[in-house]
């Protein structure tokens, strides 16, 4: 379970991403240059990766607080799979 502070941090980041995607929509509507749109899309991808990594950090910290969490091969495999997709 995420702490209130962690949830607020993630929501702040996600709202920023939402604003960026709305900006990209406006750019497409206005017929802006493809290079400019692609640059903004790269920024959104980087921002979502950062949110993913931060969420994984919170998850790992919560797991590390439980003594039996990392003793499970399945838990470790699940975390590795999540990291490769994030």
pLDDT of residue 44: 98
Average pLDDT over every residue of 10-30: 98
Average pLDDT over every residue of 44-52: 94
SS3 labels along the chain: CCCHHHHHHHHHHHHHHHHHHHHHHHHHHHCCCHHHHHHHHHHHHHHHHHHHHHHHHHHHHHHHCCCCCCCCHHHHHHHHHHHHHC
Average pLDDT over every residue of 25-32: 98
- The pLDDT confidence band at residue 66, using thresholds 50, 70 and 90, is confident
pLDDT of residue 85: 78
Q: Read off the pTM.
A: 0.79
Average pLDDT over every residue of 2-15: 94
- The pLDDT confidence band at residue 84, using thresholds 50, 70 and 90, is confident
pLDDT of residue 86: 63
Which domains, and CATH codes, for the chain? 4-85 (1.20.58.1000)
């Amino acid at each position: 379970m995420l702490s209130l502070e962690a949830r607020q941090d993630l929501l702040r980041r996600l709202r920023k991403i939402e604003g960026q995607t709305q900006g990209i929509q406006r750019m497409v509507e206005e017929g802006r240059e493809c290079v400019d749109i692609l640059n903004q899309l790269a920024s959104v991808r980087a921002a979502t990766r950062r949110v993913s990594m931060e969420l994984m950090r919170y998850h790992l910290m919560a797991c590390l607080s439980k003594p039996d969490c990392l003793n499970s091969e399945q838990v470790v495999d699940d975390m590795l799979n999540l990291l490769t997709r994030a």
